[in-house]
Amino acid sequence: DAGVTQSPTHLIKTRGQQVTLRCSPKSGHDTVSWYQQALGQGPQFIFQYYEEEERQRGNFPDRFSGHQFPNYSSELNVNALLLGDSALYLCASSPEFGARTDTQYFGPGTRLTVL
Amino acid sequence: GNSVTQMEGPVTLSEEAFLTINCTYTATGYPSLFWYVQYPGEGLQLLLKATKADDKGSNKGFEATYRKETTSFHLEKGSVQVSDSAVYFCALPYYNAGNMLTFGGGTRLMVKP
């Protein structure tokens, strides 16, 4: 049973560019969340997708957007990249939207470096 | 939203030493509480969780008890191994509706032989 997968593993961009990161949830999971983890810090919640709609959003600007596809996979898009967007981007999936006791399963992350 | 504070690291211990990593939280109600671990170069893995007050979560020799009186969820292990070297994160739901998580800043543990 494949866990959460993310691509690419690493990415280098320059300021002002746009980037798309991809995530496939664990089999049987329909809810996908994205987190940003800056170096030496804990992950920060960006947003969560369920039934192809953004359901919750953390404190991130509109430059951060996403999409969920009918097969539950998801993309994170970041426009107009800033140096401060350099981070590890983590995708997490869970089997039941809104279940407060639910465990989130994390992928290995995409390391984004903005030069 | 809810929030969590955990002790800063790094924590350096010798093999077989006792480990405590403190975690306190601020939340309305009684949310589930989690400890995640991040090994070098990897994503986060769930270490243990507790879903209601006074529950004890345990896994791989690690334990944490949900203490509503002190709003704490301290992580403990009686005898650490070199392979336990990692960063540990305490977490709870961002809001009381939904399962998006808010994390502490992480505590790096280094275990020396």
Q: Quick one: which of A54, A64, A61 has its CA closest to A89? A: A64
Series of mean pLDDT values for 10-residue runs along chain B (113 residues): 89 97 91 93 91 94 96 97 96 78 94 96
- Given the structure tokens 């879903």, which residue do they identify? B51
DSSP summary character for residue A3: -
Q: What pLDDT was estimated at residue A99?
A: 67
Give the three-class secondary structure for A43.
Answer: coil
Give the three-class secondary structure for B39.
Answer: coil
Q: pLDDT: is B9 or A41 the higher one?
A: A41
Q: What pLDDT was estimated at residue A110?
A: 96
Q: What pLDDT was estimated at residue B54?
A: 94
Where would I find the beta strands (DSSP E) of B42-81?
A: 44-50, 56-59, 62-65, 75-77
At A72, is the pLDDT very low, low, confident or very high (cuts 50, 70, 90)? Answer: very high
Q: What pLDDT was estimated at residue B111?
A: 97
Q: What pLDDT was estimated at residue B7?
A: 86
At A96, is the pLDDT very low, low, confident or very high (cuts 50, 70, 90)? Answer: confident
Contact B93 A56 (CB under 8 A): no
Contact B94 A58 (CB under 8 A): yes
Contact A90 B43 (CB under 8 A): yes
Q: What pLDDT was estimated at residue B43?
A: 85
Substitution target in A100, A106, A111 with the highest count of B β-carbons within 10 Å is A100
